[in-house]
Amino acid sequence: MKKAFGQVPNTSYYELGNLQIQKINGEYVYIAPVEFSGFFKWWNGDHTPGYFTLSATDSSANPKFIKSEMVYTPSSYFNKKIERHIRMQYPKHIFDGDVQLEVDDEGKPYYIRSYGEFITARNGFEVKGIVMVDPNNGVTKDYSLSDIPEFIDGAVSPEAVSLQNSYFGNYVHGFWNSIFGKTDVKLPSDEGIEANVSPIFDEGGEMYYFTDFTSPKEGVDSMLGYSITNSRTGKATYYTGNLEESYMDSQGALQIIEKKFIEKKWHGEMPILYNFYGEASWLSPVLDSNGFLQNYFIVSAANPEISVYGNTPNDALRHYKTALQRGGSTVDGTSNAEEKQVTGIVARVYKEKSGDYTIISFLLDNRQSYIISSENEPLAIYLREGDKVNVNYLETGEDFLPVKEIVIEGLK
């Protein structure tokens, strides 16, 4: 977005505001307002010209500048400063967190801020609703959480969620236990991109805030669980995972990425825990020193020795599938894929180098594609079109079925 700032009129007056993610018309995009770069720029400019959008799912997409004049902004001054304007309209409300920009499906921007009440004395915070401001004319509206407009994704501020995670982790058995006994005490990570939490969307388009929890003991990279908080209702759920397994936390995943690319000085950001092929796995984009996306890195949370990276998410997943095969996983997502056998003639073969091994993808005359690593079957590197093969594979329902064993007839 900074590279595309030339699209903004009177560019010298402005700078890029805070970045956040949102769903607009079913598309997941990053949005960032254009803000004033100082008092005299505000005095001369009077209003900001609009905001930027950028696809959150297409790394090759270009930013788009959307013209929409905003008078009441975080970088304005006096009564035009958005926080002051909201306070003057609602002097008795208790606010928590920064104002956030939300865009409706017609492209109209609004600023919102969460309000609520303290849980006890001036400790803790429970969000009750939002105040929404039209930044062009300053018109404000008050909504309870149950009545917020459909287009608003982040009604509950990430700061309020972060505070809730901290209280839950530290004071699970009360204040004194957090100081002395520390029974069941767990610390939320600070690897999130918004107030130490990371926004994610489920398959239904609902936004949540994700945070993993680690041990308070120094030098321990063990994940004790993670929380998922609904960004519209504030309802939070804490998951422990399989207590018999030892999972690595997000900080451990980022340390692996840093060591992997230590010469290039690349680093990971916004690690998120996923279930890939039945394995708890960390997925993180890898950025260079200038902040540009270089690849996608996946590492097993249970076995940090299993890690791969690829230029696209699908590419990384394909490499991860074969890496899990080497580790003995059933790579099916449910851990109960049926093992089957087939005999056929090889119609097409594609071989690709992956580290010290070769990934072999092949198509049989039954029109089904299969995939195997030379680490599992070294002789698979000799596979060629026209070969008759006996294949033991896992019925995972994917386009490329993972092969456990392959026998090439006639190859001694």
Q: Output 178 or 362, whichever has higher pLDDT.
A: 362
Task: Tell me if residue 252 falls in helix, strand or coil.
Answer: helix
Average of per-residue pLDDT across 106-117: 97
206's CB contacts (< 8 A; 6+ apart) are 230, 232
Residue 331 pLDDT class (50, 70, 90 cuts): low
- Distance from C-alpha of 291 to C-alpha of 312, rounded to nearest angstrom: 17
The answer, yes or no, to whether residue 314 has pLDDT greater than 90, is: no
Is pLDDT of 318 > 60? Answer: yes
- Strand 388-395 versus strand 338-354 pairing type: antiparallel
Start-end ranges of CATH 2.40.50.140 in the chain?
Answer: 338-408
Query: What contacts 364, CB < 8 A, 6 or more positions away?
Result: 342, 344, 345, 346, 347, 370, 389, 391
Residues 6+ away with beta carbon under 8 Å from 263: none
Whether the predicted pLDDT of 387 surpasses 90? yes
Average pLDDT estimate for 262-287: 93
pLDDT tier at 122, thresholds 50, 70, 90? confident
Return the beta strands (E) in 37-147 as ranges: 48-55, 64-70, 94-95, 100-103, 109-117, 126-133, 140-144
The arithmetic mean of pLDDT across residues 379-408, rounded, is 91
**Residue 206 reports pLDDT greater than 90:** yes
Instruction: Kindly tell me if the per-residue pLDDT of 87 is higher than 90.
Output: yes
Residue 220 pLDDT more than 90?
A: no
pTM: predicted TM-score of the whole model, two decimal places: 0.85
Longest dimension (CA), the chain: 85
pLDDT of the residue at 267: 96
**215 versus 115: which is more confidently predicted?**
115
Mapped onto helix, strand or coil, the DSSP state of residue 299 is: strand
Residue 291 contacts residue 267 (beta carbons within 8 Å):
no
Query: What is the mean predicted confidence (pLDDT) over 200-227?
Result: 90
Q: What is the CATH number of domain 338-408?
A: 2.40.50.140
Residue 27 confidence (pLDDT) above 70: yes
| Residue 281 DSSP SS3 | strand
Residue 328: the pLDDT is 58
Span 37-69, pLDDT tens digits:
999 999 998 899 999 999 998 878 999 999 999
Distance (Å) of CA 407 to CA 11, 343, 390, 392: 65, 10, 5, 9
